[in-house]
Amino acid sequence: MVYLQRKFALGTRLAVPLAGESANDYIGRVGAPQAVVEGFRALLGDADSLVALGDYLNQNLDTKEIGNLSAKVSNMLNKLDNQDIYPLNLVIEAGLGTVFVNSLNPATSGYFDDAATFNSMFYAMTAQRSSSLPEAASLYNQVATEFVSFAGSRRKDCLFIADPLTNILVSGGLKTISDPTKSFTSDIYWPLRNQFSVIDSSYACTFATVARITDIASSLQTYVPFSGFAAASMANTDTNYQPWYAPAGFTRGVVGGVSDIAYYPKQKQRDDLYKVNLNPVAFFPAEGFVIFGQKTLQKKPSAFDRINVRRMFLNLETATRNTMKYFVFEPNTLFTRTQVINTLSPIFENAKNTQGIYDYLIICDERNNTPSVIDDNALVIDIYIKPVRTAEFILANFYATRTGVNFQEIVT
């Protein structure tokens, strides 16, 4: 098990004003005059980063060594591998990939330092626009693979929400995009695209930002991974709608409790992110922060490259498994097979009536339960589904006509 705690202390980054920063600007950023901050720093000591604690290594709070984080994640997930004991719907990364990548930063002697800028940690990912995998993405993949394998190969009943490397988007509490020498394409789009280039699974998704919130422990503003907010949006969708509704847009994708995000993508930037399966989060003056995408990380175009379809199948598969367990060891007869169809049909009718599927077909008869299948002590159920697709792109065409035109003649 991996635990994260913040040592109640102030870092050196807060003790010194930024270049050209006035006293009022410093107070506005930090929340107190420099003299007060220095006093607390002298009393409490320095702690610029989160401190990771684990059960594989005796942790040293001075060096902040975290040990083998991917092995810790694997050990934790192994304990949750039993579907009957631990029902799961969502699994979130919660920034563990960022913790691992930062902990293996050679410039910091192997301890976690989330105040370092991304390009100072590793050679720029933006220069690696080829098939070679950048070092940071390779390190991240060691942690992400554990989650993807757990959700898509072992459990097959939950969705994994991955997080971008925080350093790509913010470093030292400052937005990457706020640096005039940085650009969206080179310093956000390409690093994010490279980070997730090795993940190809419909059981995983990601949202291309981090969120700024108020840390209740220190009352300071801090950036946190977005996976928790995405999971909350999906949970809200399950509670007030259905799992097969897209957890995005102005109806179900408005994010609460967030004061800022790493950058405000324009429509073209949102489109660029979406083309490579990175779900954008946008800002709108009237609505606030809105999740504006619902793609999984599956590369091949199919129904499963959308979150609503994957979660619909996960929901129906779980309901089917929980229902069919009561038919295990029952006689493999026509009566039992008919009971199976009659028991499953209401589940799929509900999905059809609540806009989850267009139609379905359940086959459990002599066509798929041949004498050889029955002799193997098996009962086969084939379920065919036409999943509902979402309207992610609305095209409104305007036409100017002459005054005397009959509209009925135009549209027929």
Residue 241 located in a structural domain: yes
How many Å apart are CA 300 and CA 221, to the nearest integer?
39
Q: Are residues 34 and 127 in the same domain?
A: no
Considering 305, 330, 361, which residue would you say is the last residue of a domain? 305
Residue 269 located in a structural domain: yes
pLDDT for 38-47, tens place per residue?
A: 776 666 665 5
Task: Give residue 108's pLDDT.
Answer: 47
Q: Are residues 208 and 298 in the same domain?
A: yes
Q: At what angle do helices 135-149 and 96-103 cross, to 10 degrees?
A: 140
Residue 6 located in a structural domain: yes
Q: Are residues 242 and 97 in the same domain?
A: yes
- Residues 204-230 have a mean pLDDT of 91
Residue 339 located in a structural domain: no
Q: What sign for the dihedral angle of Cα 64, 69, 75, 77?
A: positive
Beta bridge partners of 288: 284
Statement: residue 333 has pLDDT above 90: yes
Considering only residues 168 and 172, tell me which one the structure prediction assigns the higher pLDDT. 168
How many Å apart are CA 50 and CA 99, to the nearest integer?
8
Task: Give residue 134's pLDDT.
Answer: 56
Statement: residue 19 has pLDDT above 90: no
- Other beta carbons within 10 angstroms of residue 301's beta carbon come to 7
Q: Residue 173's pLDDT band (boundaries 50, 70, 90)? A: confident
Paired sense of beta strands 204-206 and 3-5, if any: unpaired
CA-closest candidate to residue 264, choices 179, 393, 177: 177
How many Å apart are CA 258 and CA 235, to the nearest integer?
17
What's the mean per-residue pLDDT of the chain? 83
Statement: residue 48 has pLDDT above 70: no
Residue 320 located in a structural domain: no
CA distances from 26 to 111, 262, 312 (A): 28, 20, 49
Output DSSP code: residue 126: G
Q: Are residues 33 and 177 in the same domain?
A: no
Q: Are residues 28 and 149 in the same domain?
A: no
Count structural domains, the chain.
Answer: 2
CATH number, residue 272:
3.40.50
pLDDT for 116-146, tens place per residue?
A: 555 544 443 334 433 334 577 788 888 999 9
**42 lies in which domain range?**
1-48
Task: Give residue 396's pLDDT.
Answer: 77
Q: Are residues 23 and 148 in the same domain?
A: no
CA-closest candidate to residue 194, choices 129, 145, 149, 146: 129
Considering 305, 320, 344, which residue would you say is the last residue of a domain? 305
Task: Give residue 163's pLDDT.
Answer: 97
Task: Give residue 145's pLDDT.
Answer: 94
Statement: residue 322 has pLDDT above 80: yes
Statement: residue 31 has pLDDT above 80: no
The DSSP result for 47-114, as a single string, is --S-EEE-SSS---TTTT----HHHHHHHHHHTT--TTT---SEEE-TTHHHHHHHHT-GGGTTS--T
Considering 305, 332, 356, which residue would you say is the last residue of a domain? 305
The pTM of the full predicted model, rounded to 2 decimals, is 0.79
The values of phi and psi at residue 140, to 5°, are -60, -40
Q: Residue 384's pLDDT band (boundaries 50, 70, 90)? A: very high
Q: Are residues 167 and 121 in the same domain?
A: yes
pLDDT above 90 coverage of the chain, percent: 57
Residue 10 located in a structural domain: yes
- Other beta carbons within 10 angstroms of residue 241's beta carbon come to 15
Statement: residue 149 has pLDDT above 60: yes
Q: Are residues 162 and 193 in the same domain?
A: yes
Q: Are residues 122 and 234 in the same domain?
A: yes
Q: Are residues 292 and 175 in the same domain?
A: yes
- Residues 237-263 have a mean pLDDT of 95
Q: Are residues 30 and 162 in the same domain?
A: no
Task: Give residue 138's pLDDT.
Answer: 80
Statement: residue 412 has pLDDT above 90: no
Residue 385 located in a structural domain: no
Residue 371 located in a structural domain: no
Statement: residue 3 has pLDDT above 60: no
Q: Are residues 102 and 212 in the same domain?
A: yes
- Residues 281-308 have a mean pLDDT of 95
